[in-house]
Amino acid sequence: MLAEELRSEAQPRVMLQPIAAPSVLGLYGLAGAVFMVAANMAHWFGSSNTTFLLVPFAAIFGGLAQFLSGMWAYKARDAVATAVHGMWGAFWMAFGVLALLLGSGRAVTPATPLFPALGYWFIVLAAITWVCAAASAAENRALETTLILLGAGSTILAVGLLAGVEGLLIIAAYVFIACAVAAWYTASALMLNETFAREVWPLGSGRQAQRTPAMTFGIGEPGVIRGQI
């Protein structure tokens, strides 16, 4: 009798904790920050002082909100979303700190508006974003498209800043605007499909989704459902 009770207690238990898709918040944050800054880069609006007015929006909307999304994506065991939202959220907050330092005179104002040193920031961002784009092919096509555009915009901007070619900055701005539209669509599709419990807007099945269910948990993995859809 005691042996049977011990065997019963020894059975593994999995406590599932479903959470809302963190990428809904993260992608909306990315879309908003990228669109506003890119539209200014493309000369759709603003002046030379507008950058400092955009910083609070970018740092909070694209920085804090997206970074928090990345940490929640970590709980959902979504490695791609954790990397993308955590990295880009940290970038937007760093961008806000940089603008604050420049605006307050605590850092030397660059001699050229192209700011070549900032190009190295986008080398790092582009390198990580391209790897994330490759990994996102396993999740869904909408996210993959968003990250390809984000990686392409970062690459073009890095080259433009380092080479001092203003025309490349304009091209990068339009690529980022396309990325913002793709990010908005992906976030909206995730939210609508989850809310209505059916495919309202298609995301495009990724390679992994064609082989295994979107929400699964592995042997010995405690706690939460894996995935965001």
The per-residue pLDDT for range 77-130, each reduced to its tens digit, is 899 999 999 999 999 999 988 888 877 777 776 656 677 889 999 999 999 999
The answer to the question of residue 202 being in a domain is no
Domain contains 15: no
Distance (Å, rounded) from C-alpha 83 to C-alpha 143? 13
* Domain carrying residue 164: 20-196
Q: Do the domain assignments include residue 117?
A: yes
| pLDDT the model gives residue 48 | 62
Helix axes 50-57, 22-41, angle to 10 degrees: 180
- Tell me whether residue 179 is in a domain: yes
Considering the domain boundaries, does residue 211 fall inside one?
A: no
Count how many domains the chain has: 1
Max CA pair span of the chain? 82
* Percent of the chain topping pLDDT 90: 58
Q: Is residue 51 part of a domain?
A: yes
Instruction: Encode pLDDT of 21-57 as tens digits.
Output: 899 999 999 999 999 999 999 989 887 667 678 888 9
How many CB atoms are closer than 10 A to CB 60?
16
